[in-house]
Amino acid sequence: MDRIVIRGGRPLEGEIYVGGAKNAALPLMAACLLTDETLTLTNLPHLADISTLAKLLSTLGVELHMNGNGGAGGSSGRVLEMTAGRIADTCAPYDLVRKMRASVLVLGPLVAREGLGSVSLPGGCAIGTRPIDLHLAGLEALGAEIELKEGYIEARAPNGLTGGEVVFPKVSVGATENILMAACLASGETRLVNAAREPEIVDLANCLTAMGAEIEGAGTASITVRGQSRLHGARHEVIADRIEAGTYAMAAAITDGDLHLVGARGEHLRSALEVLGQAGVAVTETNRGLQVRRANGRLQGTDAMTEAFPGFPTDLQAQFMALMATAQGAAMITETIFENRFMHVPELARMGANVTVHGASALVRGVERLTGAPVMATDLRASVSLVLAGLAAEGETVLNRVYHLDRGYERVEDKLSACGADIRRVPE
Ligand code: EPZ
């Protein structure tokens, strides 16, 4: 397994191109199952999770053609053509779902297109049990019969899905995406109530609309879909990754640097930028993205609470904790979305951070300096928070199990070293 070695203490200066959003690209790829024509996605990031889903789609019978540059603003985004001419299989197997929970996003499209879909129960992951009960309840509300057989969930709708009202008892990004896609081919009208409002949902709705779907209200808590008998192909550009942008904004702040994040969109990060402003980070919107530097000298400890969009994103919580570890004063960070998303705390502590966890809240008391240490990545965002800490720490940090990082960050060592970081990947 590769390791990443960082010698900290160097301010980051220069430009970083923000890639296409992983959490938009994954549901967009699943949407190809809704039509027998070609769906082309551009500005697709080079990430392990994208490759895993591409492999799953090809086992289902989708023809995929991936080629080079089609990214926005000269970034390295790939172009992916997918044609689900014929569905050869309707089962997402355990060995692929185990690797990536987002595989469950093929369930809704499969049931809507074929009247049958089965997906291995994903099992838990490092940040929590992450059940899929909301996905299944939503499909049942559209007339699917759900059965659990030998660790697989089977959803059947032999006479097709019927539009109806789907009320989510709690906000779920994935469940909203699964039901939104299924509803596009259901007969009649579907209303999603208490839907997730993330920009990735809006991006998916825009792509589905380009494919012939009729959708109103994406980005609000109430979405209406008028089902169609079929959808057609389309070409769609994946939106920029707001979590990658937020991560590199914090890299600029933690190293007291000055970075231009090309492709970043302020309107997708309002809450996070608000908190960063209170912490003493100046973010200026430019015509190409966001310019980020410290407003004046040390950072101030600032509280944050993760919430569904438009609240502070849970996917930036670990990175913000690393930033607060060297701020002046204390910061109370509360995680309300996942039940076990503080795996980065003991690793940050090895680098000298002073963090006390009480249930869903962590109290961070800022220290003068962090010190480099060998640390272990546990999940995608925890691993990048350790990279941020390593960039600011005195001495050398060695990050193990870098495969977690590669699931969601494209060429992180190249992007950071191009801005002055002393960071390199050491292949095992
Ligand atoms: C998506 O996961 C993202 N992944 C996550 O990003 C992100 O953290 C999360 O949304 C919240 O914003 C992708 O988009 C591929 P949820 P998802 O359904 O859809 C519970 C990253 O680092 N829940 O909104 O799985 C669930 O356990 C990843 O890029 C149920 O109880 O998240 C969690 O506590 C991590 N039943 C909460 O809801 C369900 O059926 C929110 O989960 C579904 C979810």
Distance CA 97, CA 123 (A): 9
Atom of ligand 1 nearest to the CA of 196: 24
Phi–psi pair at 90, nearest 5 degrees: -120, 25
Q: Among 100, 133, 167, 172, say which to mutate for ligand 1: greatest number of ligand atoms within 8 Å of CB.
A: 172
Which residue matches tokens 């008892």? 169
pTM of the model: 0.97
Q: Whose CA is nearest to atom 8 of ligand 1?
A: 315
Q: What is the pLDDT of residue 75?
A: 54
Distance 409 CA to ligand 1 centre (A): 18
Distance from the alpha carbon of residue 195 to the mean position of ligand 1, in angstroms? 13
pLDDT digits (tens), the chain, 428 positions: 899 999 999 999 999 999 999 999 999 999 999 999 999 999 999 999 999 999 999 999 999 999 876 555 555 679 999 999 999 999 999 988 888 989 999 999 999 999 999 999 887 677 777 789 999 999 999 999 999 999 999 999 999 999 999 999 999 999 999 999 999 999 999 999 999 999 999 999 999 999 999 999 999 999 999 999 999 999 999 999 999 999 999 999 999 999 999 999 999 999 999 999 999 999 999 999 999 999 998 899 999 999 999 999 999 999 999 999 999 999 999 999 999 899 999 999 999 999 999 999 999 999 999 999 999 988 899 999 999 999 999 999 999 989 999 999 999 999 999 999 999 999 97
Task: Give residue ranges with CB within 6 A of ligand 1.
Answer: 22-23, 26, 101-102, 128, 130-135, 170, 172-175, 314-315, 337-338, 380-381, 408
Pairing mode of beta strands 165-167, 189-193: parallel
CA distance 27 to 277: 32
Nearest CA to ligand 1 atom 3: 23
Taking CA atoms only, the protein residue closest to ligand 1 atom 19 is: 174
| Residues belonging to the active site | 125
Residue 284 near residue 313 (C-beta atoms within 8 A): no
**Residue with CA at minimum distance from ligand 1 atom 35:** 315
CB 223 within 8 A of CB 205: yes
Alpha helix (H) residue ranges in 144-297? 173-183, 199-210, 242-254, 270-278
Q: Which of 173, 200, 314 to mutate to test the pocket of ligand 1 (most atoms within 8 A of CB)?
A: 173
**Contacts of range 205-212, beta carbons closer than 8 Å, 24 or more positions apart:** 205/180, 206/236, 207/28, 207/31, 207/39, 207/41, 207/234, 207/236, 208/31, 208/34, 208/180, 208/181, 208/184, 210/234, 210/235, 210/236, 211/31, 211/34, 211/35, 211/39, 211/184
| pLDDT at 126 (0 to 100) | 73
| H or E element, residue 350 | helix 344-350
CA of 173 to the centre of ligand 1 (A): 6
CA of 169 to the centre of ligand 1 (A): 14
